[in-house]
Structure 1
Amino acid sequence: MNLVFVCSRNQWRSPTAEAIYKNHADYTAKSAGTELSARIKLTAKLLEWADLIFVMEKRHKQRIIDKFPDTVRSKQLIVLDIPDDYGYMNEELIESIKSSVSPYLD
């Protein structure tokens, strides 16, 4: 299953989520950001590749729908409600991501 994690600048939250799931036997994970300043920018190709799209905040979901309406029409976009309060691989962030994502993977 292909997972994409999205935040604003692809610096802390989505790369942490990618790191958690990228070496898992059942999942392939990638991450991207919605902002022009994102380290890795979200593309239609990445969204097409994804089986599940996880966004950190509601505004990320709306930006994706606004920018890629045809691409995500049949996709599941899941809002994790994880604020931009953590650094990369912060223990609380890892736990928050795992607890929010696991219901969709089990």
Structure 2
Amino acid sequence: MFEKILIVCVGNICRSPTAEFLLKRELPHKQIASAGLHAMVKDIDGKPVGDEMNAQARETAEKHGLVCGTHEAQQLTSELARKYDLILVMEKRHRDEIAKRFPEALAKTMLFGQWDNARDIPDPYKKSDEVFAQIYKLIEHNTMLWANKLKR
């Protein structure tokens, strides 16, 4: 049913790429990508920034045995939203923003923490290694919940 899955957070450098790599590991037959509502894809002069996955997020994931490939942040656009069957967001406010910016995508947008009491996954950006580790565990737990639902 859901073959193309897009995971969205704010900057597309911490939570969504981590979830993308985890979900790809669990559902290798699905097309999975990530994007940010406010990803920095161009600098002040309009040149591509090419933000990679946040170093703390990558290091935390790799400490837990997750292989993280290359990643370049991308901005969520209406075209990107149309391309995917399911959009998973990290926080309720992200779903609200999608409703305002891309109302046609709202019906296929759900929380990444949907099956965990509709919980938000907080942003660890610029926080301690301990916070990154806690958020990783939360993302990993919710990845498994989604993987179980999507394998059916």
Give the TM bin, normalised by the shorter chain: 0.7 to 0.9
Q: 1:36 to 1:21 in 2, by over 3 A?
A: closer
TM-score, normalized by length of structure 2? 0.58
Comparing 56-65 with 28-37, which one deviates more in the overlay?
Answer: 28-37
Equivalence for 2:74:
40
**Is the partner of 2:13 in helix, strand or coil?**
coil
- Kindly tell me the number of residue pairs found equivalent between the two proteins: 103
TM-score (norm 1): 0.79
Residue 78 of structure 1 is matched in structure 2 by 110
> What aligned pairs does 1:1-106 form with structure 2 within 5 A after superposition?
1-22=3-24, 24-35=27-38, 37=40, 39-69=73-103, 71-73=104-106, 75-79=107-111, 80=113, 81-85=120-124, 86-87=131-132, 91-102=136-147, 104-105=149-150, 106=152
Q: Supply the AA of the counterpart residue of 1:2.
A: K
Structure 2: gaps of 5 or more residues: 42-72, 114-119, 125-130
| Identity in percent | 35
CA deviations on 1:58-80 (whole Å, 9 max, x unpaired) are 111111110111x315x321112
Cα distance in 2, alignment partners of residues 13 and 91 from structure 1: 8
SS of the residue 1:46 aligns to: helix
Q: Verify the 8 A CA contact 1:13 1:87 in the aligned structure 2.
A: no
CA offsets per residue over residues 53-105 of structure 1, 9 Å max, x none? Answer: 10000111111110111x315x32111221113549x7414423314423541
Residue 11 of structure 1 aligns with an amino acid whose one-letter code is: I
Over 3 Å counting, the alpha-carbon distance change for 1:61 and 1:20 in structure 2 is: same
Larger % of strand: which? Answer: 1
Q: CA RMSD in A?
A: 2.4
Aligned residue identity for 2:122: P
Structure number with bigger Rg: 2
Q: Is contact 2:91-2:121 (8 Å) kept?
A: yes
1:21 positional shift: 2.4
* Range that drifts further, 22-31 or 79-88: 79-88
